[in-house]
A = this chain, B = another copy of it.
Amino acid sequence: MEHLPSWLLTQTAAHAGRLVTERFAEVGARGYHYRLLETLLGGPASQAELGRRTGIHLSDMVAVLNELTADGYVERSPDPADKRRNVVTITDRGRERAAELAARAEAIQDELLTPLTAAERAELVRLLSLLRKGAAPA
């Protein structure tokens, strides 16, 4: 069983997930928060668009945006051009939060990848990216 790539993937991802959960929990955040704030640094977007970019399901998006809005990290406003949509915008406070979480995310990578050399890290990223492409319509 330990020879199975899917097993190795899910076990190492569980380890990565624990690191992410622990380090973000130290500042009252979760993985979804980081994912959304990072995406919004690229500019305002609708909830549906954010869902497409981040992989967060629309039903979960509502809850996460509620949390980020309550904490003042993002703002939601109706799109005057299309009343079906909200436009979600990051706030200054949200930019700071994104920077804080990004720093934590980088530290997590270092911790996670400690057993690997720099060349091995690059190769791992390359191989995982190939697998990601193979799973595109996720």
Contacts and interface: CB of A to CB of B under 8 A. Distances in A.
A12 interface: yes
Contact of A12 (B9, B17, B109, B116): B9
A35 interface: yes
Q: Is the interface of A mostly helix, strand, loop or mixed?
A: helix
Contact of A125 (B3, B108, B129): B3
B134 A114 contact: yes
Contact of A10 (B17, B125, B133): B17
In the complex, the count of this chain's copies comes to 2
B131 A123 contact: no
Contact of A128 (B9, B34, B109, B132): B9
A94 B14 CA distance: 28
Given A5-B16, A9-B128, A11-B138, 8 more contacts: A1-B38, A5-B109, A8-B132, A11-B55, A12-B13, A12-B132, A14-B138, A115-B133
17 contacts: A1-B39, A5-B113, A5-B125, A6-B108, A6-B109, A8-B125, A9-B9, A10-B16, A10-B31, A11-B132, A12-B128, A12-B131, A115-B131, A115-B134, A116-B130, A120-B127, A123-B127
